[in-house]
Every structure is written in C-alpha cells, then in structure tokens.
C-alpha cells in the first residue's frame, strides 16, 4: 500500500500553527484531551458491542495505556476502543469537521489579544491537535473494531500529513508523540516522567471510568533497589481512582473534580455554573449529576444538535445523548444519570415510552427548575448570567410543559420599563402594581428601543404604569398561552382597548369617552370608509398622548412581530 500525502484543510492548518506556537499557557491539557478521546472510543465500542453481537470486537479488557520512553522521548496513549477506519482518519483528523471554525479563529484572535485564548480551545473540537503543543511529530495507528486493516497517520503539523494502510494493527488507537526537543531540559514539560504523568491524570482524568494504566515502577525502583528484581516485566499501575463522582457525596468531591467531569462530557472549556445532584432511593434507584453550563453551546438551535444527558446503568455508559431524560427546553443541561435497574439493551424509541425514564424525566426537570429558583435567591449574579444566556430557551417550556408552567413563570425574568438595568420577575411586577391595576401589561417587539418608541407606550409612560418589554421571538407565542399569573392576566398594550383606568376614575373616563365618541363619530366613519379593507375598525384612543394615531391589532390577532417570525420560519 502506498503512502498517501494529504494537505490539512486551511482552518486546520491555522489551528495547528497556533498549537505549535503554543498559545496555551498550560500545555499539560494535551493529555487530558487524548485520554478524553480514548475514553470516548472505549464508550463507543462498549455501546456498539451491546447493540451488535456480530461486531467481532474484543471487549474483554477495555482500558487506556500510557507508555513513556525516556530515552526516545516519546509518549504513547493507547486504547483498545472503537478505532477509526481509513476514511474516518482522513475525515476526523485531517479536517475540522465542525462548523463555525472560521468564527472560532476570529474569536481566537480577539481572545489572544485579551490573553484568554486558552479557554476557547476544546470547544471547537481541536482536542487532538493539542498534541502539537508538546510534540514535533505525532503518529497515530488505529484499527476500527470489526475491520481487518489498520491505518497509520503521521504528521509534524506543518501543512501535510501522510496516511498509510497497514495489514495488521491492534484494535483501537495508539497515538505516539515525539516530544519537542526544546522542552527536553525543562522539568515542567517532562512528559516521560511517571510523577508528572500521574499528577496530570489525577488532576484531569481521575473520574474516567476506564482504567488508565502505566508501568511506573521501573525507573523509580531501579534507582532505589539496584536491579533486585531486574529483568522481570513490571506490573502496570492504574493511575485513576475511577470513582463515579455521582455516587459520592457532595462534600467528598471537590468542585475542581466536578468541573473536569463536566468538561469531559460536555466538551466545553469553561467551568459550569451550577452542579445539581439527584439521588432516588427505593424501588427505582438512580443517581444523577447535572450541570448548568455558563454559556450556551454553539448548536443550541441547530436541528441536529446533540442534546440530553449520558445514561449509565450501574456505572456502565449505555447511551451518550439520551434526549428522553430531559425536556427539550432544558436541552443545554449536561450530565450523567445512572440507573440501577434498566435494561442495558434499550433503543432510543423504547426509552421514550419507558415509564421509569418518564419518571426520571419529570423529576429531573423539576429539580433543574428548583435549582434555578434557588440560584435566583441565593446566587443572584449566577442567576442573572444564566437567565441572560438561557432564559429564551427555558421560556419554550411555557408552551409545552403544562406541568411546570408555574415553576417556569416563577423563575422567569423580563426586561421592563421599571428599571432599564434590571429585569423583573412577574412576582416583583405584581408587587409594584398600581392601586386598582388589574393586568400585567407587556409589549412584544424586536428590540427594547422599538418598544419604547412605540406610540402604544405613550399613555402607559404618562401614567407611570409598568410595561414588560418582551423581545425574544418565543415571547410572541407563550404570552398568549399562559394562564393568569397570581390572578392577573397578561395583556399586550398593542392589542385591543388599553385598560389603563380603574375604579371611579374609570367611570368618569367612560362617560367622557362616550361623549367624545359621539363628537368624533363623523370623522371615524369617514376614516373607516377611506381605509376600507385595510383596517377592521377605526376608533378613538386614550392610549396616545403625543402621536395622532396608531395601528393596533385585535386581542387574538397575530402581531406584526409574530408575522415576521412566521415568515422567517418559511410559513
Ligand atoms: P472531539 O473529541 O471534541 O470530537 P478531537 O479533536 O479530540 O475532538 O477528536 C476528533 C475526532 O477524532 C473525535 O471526535 C473522534 O471521532 C476521533 N478520535 C480521536 N481520538 C480517537 C480515538 N482514540 N479513538 C477513536 N476515535 C478518535
Ligand atoms: Mg476530544
């Protein structure tokens, strides 16, 4: 088989250049990335083997092995997981398959200037490329489980890579790094030293469920007891404790450990905002560890975005993105659910129907909403950041999750005319309502400015009546769907008659309005005739103080903003 040479895709080349010239201040994370990939590959093999008896893969001793060679200055990370086919290698390793790379590079340039570049990597799946921070040549040998031929990929990261088919290769993937000679004298970058590797594994990968093994004794023992047991092959040591964090109690686990687990499962680079632990005991036992991210993933609104949490059964991962466990409006929640009693061999379709899954789904949704509520009172800054990033997604729940509608309304906050800086909850709005005010007033629109400049706002501003300013597309839809909050109906100020007046004042105003209506009857009829089918009705308004006229819709009508939204959705 000839060796083929390929060029890296342009974006990949740019990223590699950044790796080679190491924009990370912390190079140690390359090992975390390689272990994370190896762990994913083992998970995938396990899951595939569960589904496909005929796969013909060896799943008897799944593990990760680290091999350091001090003399040759190489480090190898090996797994006997799913592996990659020839095409997988070219597709996954030679290109950055994910969308948004150009945007990433753009952001990276900015972040670099601000000294925050480190944080951006990983989010875009440049994990494997981080090897080039520490290596001047990387060789990957892999064989996909169930296939006969293997593939070798090699590159120095400078523009091209070579790919070669091998007649034989062990199942899984081995990645060998030839460590940079310029780091040879620096203890900090001695990635062949067992103590160094142990420390990195402990720090970043302790929770990985697969054993991470390394022969560590050799060098240390050789120094201490000169060749006492010389010649014998040293036993590998398992470096990680493999303890499932969700099975341990909260005070036993440090935040740093939780954060590493979160980063591993979410492929996010930033720490999560909240950690949520759930334990159910009794007839149907399960444990869950959920995370609220601090910023949305890129694919939050993509059709094919990965959503859902990892589903384990008794410590064994059986599904990576289990949508059935979390409602769609909480799709940004990441984490792990470990059930004690579920069939290992379930399909996604069956899961949707499973009663236990449904029970977990309900409980987890309630728990997440309760956490948001708790965050709102105990950690208002976190809550504010959360709601800014995810509020428009959570509000989708008002449309479908009738069970939790009140809970969602209770944690929601909205921009309002009361304080341009600070969003308000409905409860706070109701507390500020004027004597005799019956409704919660809102206006939907494209932007705060558009709403504030609307003629509909005039009378409300004049009278000092607070109006909620709703600018998310989803606001158009849910406002019409929710029941009254605390007995107060939500009313659009752009629909129907503005009902600003109340009590005695209202009686007077009514009489006055009647009188005026008579006075202006001629004008109104004339206008209605001139405007013909363009309008339903022409009526006198008490809502304007400055503008001479404005267009309003009926209470049940589709608003202009909603019309625009439907148009955008191609309807
Ligand atoms: P990410 O892990 O975020 O997808 P990486 O750059 O770390 O991005 O890896 C790119 C892809 O290469 C992975 O998604 C996976 O498909 C493949 N890959 C990397 N390492 C391995 C491995 N050890 N075994 C199998 N596939 C791997
Ligand atoms: Mg990765």
| Ligand 2 centroid to residue 240 C-alpha, Å | 19
pLDDT of residue 113: 64
Instruction: Say what angle helices 194-205 and 255-266 make with each other, to 10 degrees.
Output: 80
Among 501, 496, 514, 445, smallest CA distance to 475 is for 445
The percentage of the chain sitting over the pLDDT mark of 70, rounded to a whole number, equals 81
- For ligand 1, atom 3, the nearest C-alpha belongs to 125
Ligand 1 mutation pick, 11, 40, 320, max ligand atoms within 8 A of CB = 40
Residue 526 burial (C-beta neighbours within 10 Å; 0-12, 13-18, 19+) = exposed
Residue 341 and residue 285 in contact, taking contact as beta carbons nearer than 8 Å: yes
Arithmetic mean of pLDDT, 325-349: 87
Q: Indicate whether 235 pLDDT > 90.
A: no
Measured CA to CA, the distance from residue 359 to residue 342 in angstroms comes to 13
pLDDT of residue 245: 93
Strand order in the sheet with 286-292: 274-280, 286-292, 334-339, 309-313, 316-322
Arithmetic mean of pLDDT, 516-532: 76
If you ran DSSP here, which 8-state letter would residue 401 be given?
Answer: -
pLDDT of residue 461: 92
Q: Indicate whether 501 pLDDT > 50.
A: yes
| Ligand 2 centroid to residue 300 C-alpha, Å | 19
pLDDT of residue 303: 65
Question: 492 CB less than 6 Å from ligand 1?
Answer: no
Q: Name the band, by pLDDT with cuts 50, 70 and 90, for residue 530.
A: confident
DSSP character string of 494-558: TBS------HHHHHHHHHHHHHHHHHHHHHHHHHHHHHGGG-S-----SS-SSSS----B-TTSP
pLDDT of residue 219: 45
Token pair 């490329």 is at which residue? 129
Question: 79 CB less than 6 Å from ligand 1?
Answer: yes
ipTM surpasses 0.85: yes
Query: According to the annotation, is 26 in a ligand binding site?
Result: no
Token pair 């589709």 is at which residue? 558
Tell me the three-class secondary structure of 371-387, residue by residue: HHHHHHHHCHHHHHHHH
Question: 267 CB less than 6 Å from ligand 1?
Answer: yes
Which atom of ligand 1 is nearest the CA belonging to 79?
23
Query: According to the annotation, is 287 in a ligand binding site?
Result: no
Three-state secondary structure call for residue 139: strand
pLDDT of residue 510: 67
Q: Name the band, by pLDDT with cuts 50, 70 and 90, for residue 93.
A: confident
Question: 43 CB less than 6 Å from ligand 1?
Answer: no
Q: Indicate whether 198 pLDDT > 90.
A: yes
Query: According to the annotation, is 125 in a ligand binding site?
Result: yes
* pTM of structure: 0.76
Give the Å distances, CA to CA, from 513 to 497, 507, 520, 534, 549: 12, 10, 10, 25, 16
pLDDT in tens, 17-63: 878 886 666 788 899 989 999 999 999 999 899 888 888 888 999 99
Question: 92 CB less than 6 Å from ligand 1?
Answer: yes
pLDDT of residue 542: 62
- For ligand 1, atom 11, the nearest C-alpha belongs to 92
Q: Indicate whether 228 pLDDT > 60.
A: no
Which atom of ligand 1 is nearest the CA belonging to 38?
23
Strand 64-69 relative to strand 74-79: parallel, antiparallel, unpaired?
antiparallel
| Ligand 2 centroid to residue 264 C-alpha, Å | 8
pLDDT of residue 246: 94
Give the Å distances, CA to CA, from 247 to 43, 284, 326, 364, 561: 19, 16, 20, 17, 48
Question: 44 CB less than 6 Å from ligand 1?
Answer: no
Question: 473 CB less than 6 Å from ligand 1?
Answer: no
Q: Name the band, by pLDDT with cuts 50, 70 and 90, for residue 567.
A: low
């Amino acid at each position: 088989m000839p060796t083929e040479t390929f060029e890296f895709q342009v974006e990949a080349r740019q990223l590699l250049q950044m790796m080679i010239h190491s924009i990370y201040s912390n190079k140690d994370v390359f090992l975390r990335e390689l272990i994370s990939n190896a762990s994913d590959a083992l998970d995938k093999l396990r899951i595939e083997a569960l589904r496909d008896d005929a796969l013909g893969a060896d799943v008897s001793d799944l593990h990760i092995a680290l091999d350091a060679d001090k003399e040759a200055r190489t480090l190898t990370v090996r797994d006997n997981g799913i592996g990659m086919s020839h095409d997988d290698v070219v597709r996954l390793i030679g290109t950055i398959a994910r969308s948004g790379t150009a945007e990433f590079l753009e952001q990276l340039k900015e972040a670099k200037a601000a000294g925050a570049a480190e944080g951006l990597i990983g989010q875009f799946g440049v994990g494997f490329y981080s090897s080039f921070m520490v290596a001047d040549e990387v060789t990957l040998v892999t064989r996909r489980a169930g296939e006969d031929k293997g593939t070798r990929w090699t590159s120095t990261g400078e523009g091209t890579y070579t790919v070669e088919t091998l007649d034989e290769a062990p199942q899984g993937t081995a990645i060998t790094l030839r460590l940079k000679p310029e780091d040879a004298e620096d203890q900090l970058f001695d990635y062949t030293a067992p103590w160094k590797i142990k420390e990195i594994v402990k720090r970043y990968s302790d929770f990985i469920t697969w054993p991470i093994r390394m022969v560590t004794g050799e060098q240390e023992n050789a120094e201490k007891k000169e060749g006492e047991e010389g010649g014998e092959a040293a036993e590998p040591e398992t470096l990680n404790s493999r303890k499932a964090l969700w099975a341990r109690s909260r005070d036993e686990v440090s935040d740093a450990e939780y954060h590493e687990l979160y980063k591993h499962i979410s492929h996010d680079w930033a720490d999560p905002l909240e950690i949520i632990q759930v334990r159910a005991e009794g007839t149907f036992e399960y444990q869950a560890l959920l995370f609220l991210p601090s910023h949305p993933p890129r694919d939050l609104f993509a059709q094919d975005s990965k959503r859902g949490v990892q589903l384990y059964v008794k410590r064994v991962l059986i599904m990576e993105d289990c949508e059935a466990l979390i409602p769609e409006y909480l799709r940004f929640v990441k984490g792990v659910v470990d059930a004690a009693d579920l069939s290992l061999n379930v399909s996604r379709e069956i899961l949707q129907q499973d009663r236990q899954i449904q029970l977990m789904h309900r409980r987890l949704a309630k728990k997440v909403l309760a956490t948001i509520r708790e965050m709102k009172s105990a950690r208002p800054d976190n809550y504010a950041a959360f709601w800014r990033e995810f509020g428009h997604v959570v509000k989708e729940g008002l449309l479908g999750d009738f069970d939790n509608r009140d809970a969602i309304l209770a944690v929601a906050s909205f921009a309002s005319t009361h304080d341009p800086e600070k969003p308000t909850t409905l409860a706070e709005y109701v507390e500020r309502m004027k004597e005799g005010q019956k409704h919660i007033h809102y206006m939907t629109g494209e932007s705060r400015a558009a709403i504030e400049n609307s003629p509909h706002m005039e009378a409300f501003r004049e009278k000092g009546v607070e109006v909620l300013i709703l600018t998310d597309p989803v606001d158009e839809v849910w406002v019409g769907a929710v029941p009254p909050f605390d007995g107060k109906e939500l009313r659009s100020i752009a629909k129907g008659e503005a009902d600003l007046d109340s009590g005695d004042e209202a009686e007077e105003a009514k009489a006055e309005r009647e009188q005026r209506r008579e006075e202006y009857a001629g004008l109104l009829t004339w206008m209605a005739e001139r405007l013909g089918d363009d309008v339903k009705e022409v009526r006198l308004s008490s809502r304007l103080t400055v503008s001479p006229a404005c267009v309003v819709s009926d209470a049940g009508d589709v608003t202009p903003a909603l019309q625009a939204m439907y148009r955008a959705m191609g309807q």
